[in-house]
Chains A and B, each alone.
Chain A
Amino acid sequence: MAAFAGIVAPGSAVGEPVHYERARGISGYRPVRYPFAAADSVSPLAGTRGDARPISEPQRRLAGARVPSFADDWYHRIHLLPPRIDLGNVISPIERRLEVWNAHLQEQTVLAIEATGADGLALSGPPAPPLAFGGLQSRTYSFSASHRGAPVINAQFAFRFAGGGEMRLTVTGRRVVVFGIRPDWSDGLTERLEWLSDVLEAHDGSEQRIRLRQLPRRSFEYSWLLDGQDVRLLEHLLFAWGTRIYCLPVWTDGSQLLQDVAAGGRALVVPNAPHVDYHPGGMAVLWRSAVENEAVEIASIDGGGVLTLTLALGRSWPAGTRVLPARLARLEGTTTVRRVTDTIASGRSRFTVEDLIASAAADARPTYRGYAVFDYRPDWSEEIDVSWQRKLAVIDQGTGPRGFDDESGAPQVGRRLTWLLPNRPHITAFRQWLAARAGRVHPCWLPTFTSDLQVSRVVVSGGSGLVVRNTGYSRFVAAHPQRRDLVLRTTAGTLFRRVTGAQELSVEEELLSLEEPLDVTVTVDQVLQVSWLELVRLDQDAVELFWETDSVVRVQISTRTLPS
């Protein structure tokens, strides 16, 4: 038993006795407060005091079960807040806070923080391990990510605790740098959209078409002509970044800042934003030169063309700064730099876009027999090539006569058409039409745009016969499924009709029977053009848009007819 030397002080042996005296003016008593008279205290006593602890106490046992609550879900563990950090696209240095909370009621010690794949990432703040976290203690770490480091971020920070516990912080993201080398517009810029489809052709020529790619691949190719500082920058960019992911401005969709924007701002006014390639979650680039530019991430876009940014601008930008949507893109193949002089270089680069999004698909109007009619006259500054092929099998044993089998019994007519799209609305509509085609998958009606028949007699309203100059239709074609639909362009409007039969009236004329009579009277003079209407599909999965300027596009596509 432990013994402690000391004295018992006065008053402590008997405590404070309650002492009352009569209060003046009332017939009651009031307590007298300390100090009280010395006579009330015992004299000081010297000696030793024994410590008899622990003292056993009466115990009471209760049977029962413990009912858990949210406390069991929330305490007795380590919390990392947030448990995961997704950096997205690291285009400038990023800082985040990480809270480590010991939700145990007892002390927990971090023995080590082991980082893997943490190139360019750092945790700082509290002292280095081993570090004790008291019960319910929280510490805040500062997490920073530099824009220099591995292109793909997939890092783990493992907090190892004494006793074998472990908590892992996962950090994901990717680093991008702006490829700020602008195109040489004298050579234009080529945008390529590439769908993928599988066409299974039967013996009789009918097809089953399967779409194999949900989103079309997209690439940009352009030439550049640089001098001085830009050449050196380009070489170092190619040296260091190579085929990693770049933030590539979409040079065809640029506009200019109308007002200055200050550092720290989170909004950009871009009037054409709703009509070009900006999208929430995507990126934009403020560009003044190959060196002087800044990439920003878009949080949202409103109808008035205001881009709300996820992070504040790192610097101020004056009015007139070019603003462009940007895509994550990878440099393809070999980049050849032609050094014209010691300070001038030219070359050509091709980028494939990594962050693909679905493009709006909208079909042309009007529709005819369940398919859209793309009645948009091609550019005839170049000849239109028409190819006629047969699905012909040649059986040649080499020793005797050859055998031929026209498997489908019908020609495969291919056309090569060019369109010049003179402004943004036309370009947008054409892109939507292309998206609706999805490469070779979805067919549509396309007129031949040529004068295929010549009407020789008036067609009265309600008439279902069309008398035309004899071109041998009744003898050779006779309403074949690939050549039986007409588009009649007249001064009274454009009409679409199906031919159900034909008969020769004379050497000069033949009569085509229409499935549906005309609802207007059309004289010979009123007929502008009668063309065959063909059900076609694209004969290619890849389409190239050649941007002459940022608002004029030339595009060439090949089509192939299908039975209607």
Chain B
Amino acid sequence: MAYQTGTAAGPTPLLDALRLFAVASGWQELRWGPSGPGQQLSLRKGELIFHLRSALDEALRSGYQRVTGIFLVGSDQFDPAQPWNNQPGMPRDPSKRIEAVGLYEVEGPCTYHLFSSESPVQLTMVAEVAPGVYHHLAFGQLVKYGDYPGGAFVSGAFGSSDALTASASDYIFGDTQDLHFGLPFNDYKYAGGNYVRAAADGFDGWWSVCQASPITGKRAISVWEEGPRSPRESLANYWWSRTPNTLNGIAPLLPLYVYLERPDGFFSPFGYPAHLRYLNITHHAPAEVFAIGPEQWMAFPAHSKNNKSGVHGYAVRLER
């Protein structure tokens, strides 16, 4: 099964839908059981292991806001004696406290879209948590530019507890006109809602895709990071200024390249998710399917089209 859509009445039914879809798509269910007021789910495919937990007005840990939705983390191994949030090789801050990404604001019934892809493995969920408001969760493996250790990623519309705000640190291109709420691999978000597993420069763990102050101690960026000197425009900004094509109305897709920050302050290209693209959705309705030759993609707004996220959006590869 590569695509499924339906409705779920809350976080736990939403997680259950993801579970059933993942199992039907070849993921191994390591654990599915109660955890506090919610449910915890552990999934494996090959060497990839991910853990999810439905949250009902709960905080990830002390110091974070209470949220309702789904937490997501990755790990190296599965320890059945430990709960979902204490697994070996999870995203942690320098003080060894858990960090996660999430899909929150699931306050009532919502429509979900589930995508499964191979080569490399990726599982994506996009939920319409309120009319016109879409949040995502994605996890899997990046296409790497070389033979490096790691490559797993977790991506969410939120970080460990971040509410989406229109603050000065929560936009793209340094321009408040370009709010990006919830975009996959958004590196302009202060704390980050995406982690990439990599071993480099003596650090073997999860690198936080963010603008500054990486919450895990190591930073990765994607395509929105501005340059240090004039002109400061990022790759995404150059690309954005040319989309959609004024000749035929088609918006090119931009792969979400991921770079790791090196000790000297420069960045090394690491990989990209094969089944996600950055997209200007001016000419697409939310959840609209469009074709590029034999391939199909589904367009989503980063948050809500022509509202909090303008026409910033992303496309997920659709295989049926």
Contact residues of A with B, CB < 8 Å? 65-70, 73-74, 77-80, 83-84, 103, 167
Residue B146 interfacial (CB < 8 Å) = yes
Q: Which residues of B contact A69 (CB under 8 A)?
A: 254-255
Q: Which residues of B contact A73 (CB under 8 A)?
A: 252-253, 277, 292, 295
Residue B81 interfacial (CB < 8 Å) = no
Residue B63 interfacial (CB < 8 Å) = no
Instruction: Tell me the minimal C-beta distance from A110 to chain B in angstroms.
Output: 15
Q: Which residues of A contact B115 (CB under 8 A)?
A: none
Q: Which residues of A contact B145 (CB under 8 A)?
A: 65-67
Q: Which residues of A contact B257 (CB under 8 A)?
A: 67
Complex contact B252–A74 (CB within 8 A): yes
Residue B131 interfacial (CB < 8 Å) = no
The contact size tier of chain B is 10 to 19
Instruction: Tell me the minimal C-beta distance from A208 to chain B in angstroms.
Output: 22
Q: Which residues of B contact A83 (CB under 8 A)?
A: 291
Instruction: Tell me the minimal C-beta distance from B206 to chain A in angstroms.
Output: 22
Nearest A residue to B269 via CB reads A67
Residue B272 interfacial (CB < 8 Å) = yes
Complex contact A79–B293 (CB within 8 A): yes
Q: Which residues of A contact B265 (CB under 8 A)?
A: none
Complex contact B295–A77 (CB within 8 A): yes
Pick from B146, B254, B272, B294: contact of A78, CB below 8 A. Answer: B294
Nearest B residue to A103 via CB reads B293
Task: Sort A-B residue pairs by CB-CB distance and give the 9 closest, nearest first.
Answer: A65-B145, A77-B293, A83-B291, A70-B252, A79-B293, A73-B253, A65-B146, A70-B253, A68-B255
What 0/1 pattern do residues 257 to 297 of B give for CB contact below 8 A with A? 10000000000010010000100000000000001111100
CA distance A83 to B269 in the complex (A): 35
For residues 50 through 106 of chain B, which have their beta carbon under 8 Å from a beta carbon of chain A? none
CA distance A73 to B291 in the complex (A): 11
**Contacts A68-B272, A77-B292, A77-B295 known; 13 new A-B pairs at CB < 8 A:** A65-B145, A65-B269, A66-B145, A67-B145, A67-B255, A67-B269, A67-B272, A68-B255, A70-B253, A73-B292, A74-B292, A77-B293, A78-B294
Pick from A67, A70, A78: contact of B293, CB below 8 A. Answer: A78
Contact residues of B with A, CB < 8 Å? 143, 145-146, 252-255, 257, 269, 272, 277, 291-295
CA distance A189 to B145 in the complex (A): 73
Pick from A67, A68, A79, A84: contact of B292, CB below 8 A. Answer: A79
Instruction: Tell me the minimal C-beta distance from A124 to chain B in angstroms.
Output: 23
Instruction: Tell me the minimal C-beta distance from A377 to chain B in angstroms.
Output: 43
Q: Which residues of B contact A79 (CB under 8 A)?
A: 292-293
Q: Which residues of A contact B272 (CB under 8 A)?
A: 67-68
Which of A65, A77, A78 has the most C-beta atoms of chain B within 10 angstroms of its own C-beta? A65
Q: Which residues of A contact B293 (CB under 8 A)?
A: 77-80, 103, 167
Q: Which residues of A contact B291 (CB under 8 A)?
A: 80, 83-84
Nearest B residue to A66 via CB reads B145
Complex contact A167–B294 (CB within 8 A): yes
A-B residue pairs in contact (CB < 8 Å), sample of 9: A65-B145, A65-B146, A67-B255, A70-B252, A73-B252, A78-B294, A79-B292, A83-B291, A103-B293
Nearest A residue to B144 via CB reads A65
Q: Which residues of B contact A77 (CB under 8 A)?
A: 292-295
Instruction: Tell me the minimal C-beta distance from A70 to chain B in angstroms.
Output: 4
Instruction: Tell me the minimal C-beta distance from A52 to chain B in angstroms.
Output: 40
Q: Which residues of A contact B143 (CB under 8 A)?
A: 68
CA distance A78 to B294 in the complex (A): 7
Nearest B residue to A76 via CB reads B293
Q: Which residues of A contact B254 (CB under 8 A)?
A: 69-70
CA distance A474 to B143 in the complex (A): 85
Q: Which residues of A contact B292 (CB under 8 A)?
A: 73-74, 77, 79
CA distance A65 to B259 in the complex (A): 13
Instruction: Tell me the minimal C-beta distance from B241 to chain A in angstroms.
Output: 15
Instruction: Tell me the minimal C-beta distance from B220 to chain A in angstroms.
Output: 16
Q: Which residues of A contact B277 (CB under 8 A)?
A: 73
Nearest A residue to B254 via CB reads A70
CA distance A213 to B123 in the complex (A): 36
CA distance A74 to B295 in the complex (A): 10
Nearest A residue to B250 via CB reads A74
Instruction: Tell me the minimal C-beta distance from A238 to chain B in angstroms.
Output: 41
CA distance A331 to B306 in the complex (A): 46
Instruction: Tell me the minimal C-beta distance from B75 to chain A in angstroms.
Output: 27
CA distance A67 to B146 in the complex (A): 11
CA distance A401 to B257 in the complex (A): 90
Instruction: Tell me the minimal C-beta distance from A180 to chain B in angstroms.
Output: 37
Which of B253, B277, B293 has the most C-beta atoms of chain A within 10 angstroms of its own C-beta? B293
Nearest A residue to B272 via CB reads A68
Q: Which residues of A contact B295 (CB under 8 A)?
A: 73, 77
Instruction: Tell me the minimal C-beta distance from A316 to chain B in angstroms.
Output: 35
Instruction: Tell me the minimal C-beta distance from B259 to chain A in angstroms.
Output: 11
Nearest B residue to A104 via CB reads B293
CA distance A66 to B292 in the complex (A): 22
Which of A79, A80, A83, A84 has the most C-beta atoms of chain B within 10 angstroms of its own C-beta? A83
Nearest A residue to B291 via CB reads A83
Q: Which residues of B contact A80 (CB under 8 A)?
A: 291, 293
Q: Which residues of A contact B253 (CB under 8 A)?
A: 70, 73
Instruction: Tell me the minimal C-beta distance from B147 to chain A in angstroms.
Output: 10
Instruction: Tell me the minimal C-beta distance from B256 to chain A in angstroms.
Output: 11
Q: Which residues of B contact A84 (CB under 8 A)?
A: 291
CA distance A68 to B143 in the complex (A): 10
Nearest A residue to B293 via CB reads A77
Nearest B residue to A68 via CB reads B255
Q: Which residues of A contact B255 (CB under 8 A)?
A: 67-70
Instruction: Tell me the minimal C-beta distance from A536 to chain B in angstroms.
Output: 33
Q: Which residues of B contact A103 (CB under 8 A)?
A: 293
Instruction: Tell me the minimal C-beta distance from B292 to chain A in angstroms.
Output: 6
Q: Which residues of A contact B294 (CB under 8 A)?
A: 77-78, 167
Instruction: Tell me the minimal C-beta distance from A159 to chain B in angstroms.
Output: 11
Q: Which residues of B contact A70 (CB under 8 A)?
A: 252-255
Q: Which residues of B contact A65 (CB under 8 A)?
A: 145-146, 269
CA distance A83 to B289 in the complex (A): 11
Q: Which residues of B contact A74 (CB under 8 A)?
A: 252, 292
Instruction: Tell me the minimal C-beta distance from A302 to chain B in angstroms.
Output: 23
Instruction: Tell me the minimal C-beta distance from A297 to chain B in angstroms.
Output: 21
CA distance A73 to B254 in the complex (A): 9
CA distance A77 to B253 in the complex (A): 16
Which of A70, A77, A103 has the most C-beta atoms of chain B within 10 angstroms of its own C-beta? A70
Instruction: Tell me the minimal C-beta distance from B269 to chain A in angstroms.
Output: 6
Instruction: Tell me the minimal C-beta distance from A482 to chain B in angstroms.
Output: 37
Q: Which residues of A contact B269 (CB under 8 A)?
A: 65, 67
Instruction: Tell me the minimal C-beta distance from B235 to chain A in angstroms.
Output: 10
CA distance A279 to B119 in the complex (A): 47
CA distance A83 to B110 in the complex (A): 30
CA distance A80 to B253 in the complex (A): 18
CA distance A167 to B292 in the complex (A): 12
CA distance A167 to B293 in the complex (A): 8
Instruction: Tell me the minimal C-beta distance from B28 to chain A in angstroms.
Output: 30
Instruction: Tell me the minimal C-beta distance from B251 to chain A in angstroms.
Output: 10
CA distance A79 to B290 in the complex (A): 12
Instruction: Tell me the minimal C-beta distance from B244 to chain A in angstroms.
Output: 12
CA distance A80 to B145 in the complex (A): 32
CA distance A70 to B223 in the complex (A): 14
Nearest A residue to B277 via CB reads A73
